Structure 1
């Protein structure tokens, strides 16, 4: 391996766990204890040491988490996504002061929230102007932050563009119509819409349907990718039906669904997900810097993106993406994403998706979380505390990057939406 590739793929080449680390908090590899990793352990080139290193790297709880989230694209294989030829300016506006809010009957402030969640990047755009921007814990304007599951929302937009371009005929087509390799497993009868809206009824060997419902479905396979450079392409083929259930009846958050969507975009477009994003979105919204998408192996000719969690980008460029969404998919007079797709992404179309039983503060549509009780707002969210909040009514975009050491998928995201709505209320008084 060349010196250049050793640096880029440093984790694969030379990473070893740090001594004295805190207990691993990431769900990554939790499923290995259920016996999923038997074949990997038997493989002397890919085993527990590699898996432990991966889990430690992506843990939100470790002391190294901010630095790790700021450099993932340097330490794992990734594809570069070119920026725009000319950056779109983000002028300064009237500074936003500190904001008070209340969550769980406890008063607090925006500054308290940022400190408690170990924020390392914040941008607040109001009517296209920067009203607050700050960095901490090693983050800077130049940092490309790992988005974790916030990546899913970008995949949702890519699917929308593919639909707009006629590459996908209907969301009600079986996903296996476009990916025939899925005809033998649980995805066989799932529609594109059901995969997009997380209403599939499936799980994976070695894990119960309940475990898959908590998102622990791709991590064992992903650990072999990040730790050993193994492909994840075949993983969705192994999906198993949930007995007594049917697709389209309930919300079940499954990371593999988004991985399937990434493969879908790749297949119908004839190019990589990264290149599709570059051509149709990233290079067209005035971005100032390239982004990176983590891929499953160093061999780019065979690789596929980690569609479920692997996007890395600057805060300001994510803010520009938010401006596109706040303006219903229109950028400088050009409709990059149809208004109908943006509307549908903010409008769950099933009663059980309008308010989730598992997450009652949120609904869900097209890979976006939709805060209950609001209007014209939606949010992308990542494990450990990464957010892209868009409020069309207030022309407000908030990008917040964290490595929250006490992150809780329900409580932390509920508090985040309380904070962001408090910011919106503060700005509405101006």
Structure 2
């Protein structure tokens, strides 16, 4: 996502974010052997646990919150085994406020694409033109037909990433064969068209029915020219992170198959090892970043756990999921460093995890 396109002015468009908005908290003691907790779908309650119950370092909480505040954070949540341990709002934000996910919302598109595959409507190994017809790019027919849904999900379409966010055919120009080049590109949004055509429902309806409503999220998609951006409160982002931590389950209901979830949150191709299906992956030996073809050696976020995967959005919108620690961390807000408006990853990630580690270790 290369432009924010005045996202701030569109917050008033979100009309359906009220079902979870009272955000009552029911604090219940936990045990050391607790199972994963899921907050009720049709209730505002969400069980909590204290830092002491989580075995965390209480003396490091205030330094973490001070850091978040000074870095323009608006909403911050940390879940352990599904229960809220830390929830804080600042800089004019509150529990009812909505905010944009930016590119962290790409993970929503990946998830709903997987649900459509689970239901037999599509196969991500099939070419995109099987679902939305030919001529959706400016490439020749034989080159266009090389592009599968999986290529869109893994950012390996081979289309020119320097032509901007617009995904009209004249802007989607051939640069390399699909599967031979990784490049961060807004063309992934065509997967929303694929899902709509394959299911016979519009994107918003299918998304709401198959994902949002089933896990108690609120929020809406806002279409801004070529961009489709999700807005919600902070707890809705936490609900999504929790479902992914649970390998696609919500309580006893499998929302998306575990096998697809595992594929989505592991390396999807051999060019950028740190990228799954629109999820960023830590702990790999190398990574690439948006707008560059440079391969960097080392882990994406060295201070974060190696098994962490993340949705990363412009201006530091973050969904971190850490299976080894049963941890979900959410950060919403303005850009943390005013001289760095990264499309996803920024130096804020590593600095934030230094503060988080002081709390949880």
Does the pair score TM above 0.5? yes
CA 1:92–1:79 in structure 2 vs 1: closer, same or farther (change >3 Å)? Answer: closer
Question: Which whole-Å CA distance do the structure 2 matches of 1:345 and 1:87 have between them?
Answer: 30
Question: Which whole-Å CA distance do the structure 2 matches of 1:411 and 1:268 have between them?
Answer: 30
Shift of 1:340: 0.9
Q: Determine which of 305, 327, 342 is the counterpart of 1:409.
A: 342
Count of matched residue positions in the alignment of Structure 1 and Structure 2: 310
Q: Determine which of 120, 132, 142 is the counterpart of 1:166.
A: 120
Q: Determine which of 249, 258, 279 is the counterpart of 1:339.
A: 258
The CA RMSD measured in Å over matched residues stands at 2.9
Structure 2 match to 1:280: 210
Shift of 1:420: 3.5
Structure 2 match to 1:74: 12
Contact 2:283–2:307 (8 Å) recurs in 1: no
Structure 2 match to 1:191: 148
Residue 168 of structure 2 is aligned to residue 262 of structure 1: no
3-state SS, counterpart of residue 94 of structure 2: coil
Unaligned stretches of 5+ in structure 1?
1-25, 29-53, 59-67, 101-107, 204-208, 222-233, 298-304, 355-362
Structure 2 match to 1:110: 64
Residue 318 of structure 2 is aligned to residue 387 of structure 1: yes
3-state SS, counterpart of residue 240 of structure 1: coil
CA 1:425–1:393 in structure 2 vs 1: closer, same or farther (change >3 Å)? Answer: farther
Q: Deviations over 1:59-116 (max 9, x none)?
A: xxxxxxxxx2xx62315xx68589586136321211363649xxxxxxx953354134
Q: Determine which of 223, 231, 247 is the counterpart of 1:312.
A: 231
CA 1:407–1:236 in structure 2 vs 1: closer, same or farther (change >3 Å)? Answer: farther
Q: Deviations over 1:248-299 (max 9, x none)?
A: 11210001x2221111111112112221111111111133xx31110358xx
Contact 1:174–1:189 (8 Å) recurs in 2: yes
Question: Which whole-Å CA distance do the structure 1 matches of 2:16 and 2:82 have between them?
Answer: 27
Structure 2 match to 1:246: 177
Structure 2 match to 1:130: 84
Contact 2:17–2:233 (8 Å) recurs in 1: no
Going by fraction, where is helix more abundant, 1 or 2? Answer: 1
Contact 1:390–1:397 (8 Å) recurs in 2: yes
Structure 1 match to 2:287: none
Q: Determine which of 130, 136, 148 is the counterpart of 1:177.
A: 130
Question: Which whole-Å CA distance do the structure 1 matches of 2:179 and 2:351 have between them?
Answer: 30
Question: Which whole-Å CA distance do the structure 1 matches of 2:357 and 2:205 have between them?
Answer: 35
Question: Which whole-Å CA distance do the structure 1 matches of 2:66 and 2:314 have between them?
Answer: 20
Contact 1:146–1:312 (8 Å) recurs in 2: yes
Shift of 1:184: 5.5
Contact 1:319–1:397 (8 Å) recurs in 2: yes
CA 1:168–1:82 in structure 2 vs 1: closer, same or farther (change >3 Å)? Answer: farther
Q: How does 1:211-230 map to 2 (within 5 A)?
A: 211-212=162-163, 217-218=164-165, 221=166
Q: How does 1:53-72 map to 2 (within 5 A)?
A: 55=5, 57-58=6-7, 68=8, 72=10
CA 1:153–1:79 in structure 2 vs 1: closer, same or farther (change >3 Å)? Answer: farther
Question: Which whole-Å CA distance do the structure 2 matches of 1:138 and 1:364 have between them?
Answer: 34
Q: Determine which of 319, 342, 352 is the counterpart of 2:271.
A: 352
Unaligned stretches of 5+ in structure 2?
21-40, 285-304
Question: Which whole-Å CA distance do the structure 2 matches of 1:402 and 1:173 have between them?
Answer: 37
CA 1:262–1:410 in structure 2 vs 1: closer, same or farther (change >3 Å)? Answer: closer
Structure 1 match to 2:48: 92
Question: Which whole-Å CA distance do the structure 1 matches of 2:102 and 2:50 have between them?
Answer: 31
Question: Which whole-Å CA distance do the structure 1 matches of 2:267 and 2:334 have between them?
Answer: 29
Contact 1:81–1:282 (8 Å) recurs in 2: no
3-state SS, counterpart of residue 275 of structure 2: strand
User: Runs of 4+ in structure 1 displaced over 6 angstroms?
Assistant: none
CA 1:134–1:92 in structure 2 vs 1: closer, same or farther (change >3 Å)? Answer: same
3-state SS, counterpart of residue 366 of structure 1: coil
CA 1:192–1:94 in structure 2 vs 1: closer, same or farther (change >3 Å)? Answer: same
